[in-house]
């Protein structure tokens, strides 16, 4: 029997006349990573804010480790850590001072705070910058410090709201390794992201949020299978992608699709067949309806 650390049932949230979340149902298994994908404004951060008790839903309910996020806010806050989209550390303080401060605010003694700070600085490769002011840190160093701050006290559930936004490739991959380590240690993680590679690499399951609804969920492989077994990619003479068309991979379907598009594009266009990617999934599930119909034709 699967044990869920996060249970979401029928969550709705409006801001004024705009419905941001319109009946969200979602569960996250204990010790797993779920990636929440969606375009800008889809409501990913709003859901994270509800789960972390920052504001209540209008309808529905959510539980963290069995505790209701509205009626048991204090219990929930003792069970979660949150890293938001932007580094929440104090730029005037050093990395060491930020961690010491958070340790003390979390109830650790002076000796415990020093020990925990030393361990976190080493774990997140910040020892060399420990006594530099945070305003001199690179983006990657700030995000590593932000994650370290959120782990001052070990809690079973971690929310990561677009944790690698704005980072360079090396910094992003470093943070990915750290997230995978937390997963291996048994932490339950819900992360929002717009990086499809990030979702595929880190997550046991992926949920796609669009128009206030979860429009699909499952493993990366299962979501790709929904698009089709093969994708026709049409390129111009300058090697630019003109169009991608999902197919079932059969000779009949591929031939039929090629016959349909032959008269629509220049004769010097080229085609390739490839397996579906997460980009194909994202476009198919979040594009406007007319675009979906065209891409799935």
Q: Confidence band (pLDDT; 50, 70, 90) for 292?
A: very low
How confident is the prediction for the chain on average, in pLDDT? 87
Nearest to 247 by CA among 235, 259, 255: 255
How far is the C-alpha of 260 from the C-alpha of 254, rounded, in Å? 10
pTM summary value: 0.80
Domains and CATH numbers, the chain: 4-219 (3.40.50.300), 224-295 (no CATH)
How far is the C-alpha of 191 from the C-alpha of 36, rounded, in Å? 6
51 neighbors 159 (Cβ within 8 angstroms): yes
Nearest to 186 by CA among 230, 217, 154, 163: 154
Between 50 and 174, residue with greater pLDDT: 50
Across 15-24, average pLDDT: 95
pLDDT, position 87 = 59
How far is the C-alpha of 234 from the C-alpha of 270, rounded, in Å? 6
Between 36 and 143, residue with greater pLDDT: 36
Q: Is the pLDDT of residue 120 over 50?
A: yes
Three-state SS at 104: helix
Q: Is the pLDDT of residue 297 over 80?
A: no
The vertex-138 CA angle with 132 and 144, nearest 5°, equals: 85
Share of the chain above pLDDT 90, in %: 51
Cα distances (angstroms) measured from residue 35 to each of 43, 198, 224, 236: 14, 9, 15, 34
Nearest to 227 by CA among 206, 196, 248: 248
pLDDT, position 295 = 41
Q: Is the pLDDT of residue 293 over 70?
A: no
The least confident of 1-15, 37-51, 193-207, 228-242 is 228-242
The 10s digit of each residue's pLDDT in 125-143 is 899 999 999 999 988 888 8
The 10s digit of each residue's pLDDT in 189-242 is 999 988 888 999 999 999 999 999 999 999 988 888 877 778 888 888 888 888
Q: What is the dihedral of CA 50, 161, 44, 10, to 10 degrees?
A: -40
User: Burial level of 40, CB count in 10 A (0-12/13-18/19+)?
Assistant: exposed
pLDDT, position 246 = 78
């Amino acid at each position: 029997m699967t044990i869920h650390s996060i249970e979401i049932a029928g969550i709705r949230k409006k801001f004024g006349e705009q419905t941001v979340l319109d009946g969200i149902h979602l569960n996250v298994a204990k010790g797993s990573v779920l990636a929440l994908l969606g375009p800008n404004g889809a409501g990913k951060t709003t859901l994270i804010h509800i789960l972390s008790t920052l504001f209540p839903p209008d309808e529905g309910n959510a539980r963290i480790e069995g505790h209701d996020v509205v009626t048991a806010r204090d219990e929930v806050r003792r069970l979660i850590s949150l890293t938001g989209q932007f580094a929440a550390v104090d730029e005037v303080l050093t990395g060491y001072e930020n961690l010491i401060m958070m340790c003390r605010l979390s109830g650790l003694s002076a000796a415990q705070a020093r020990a925990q700070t030393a361990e976190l600085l080493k774990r997140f490769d910040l020892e060399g910058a420990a006594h530099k002011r945070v305003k001199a840190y690179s983006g990657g160093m700030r995000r590593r410090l932000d994650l370290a701050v959120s782990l001052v006290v070990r809690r079973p559930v971690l929310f990561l709201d677009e944790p690698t936004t704005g980072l360079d490739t090396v910094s992003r991959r470093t943070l990915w390794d750290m997230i995978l380590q937390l997963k291996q240690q048994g932490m339950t993680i819900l992360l929002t992201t717009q990086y499809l590679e990030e979702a595929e690499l880190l997550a046991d399951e992926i949920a796609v949020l669009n128009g206030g609804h979860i429009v699909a969920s499952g493993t990366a492989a299962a979501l790709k299978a929904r698009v089709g077994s093969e994708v026709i990619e049409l390129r111009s003479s300058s090697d630019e992608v003109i169009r991608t068309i999902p197919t079932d991979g059969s000779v009949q379907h591929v031939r039929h699709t090629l016959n349909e598009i032959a008269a629509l594009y220049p004769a010097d266009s080229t085609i390739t067949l490839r397996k579906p990617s997460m980009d194909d999934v994202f476009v198919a599930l979040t594009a406007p309806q007319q675009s979906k119909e065209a891409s799935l034709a």
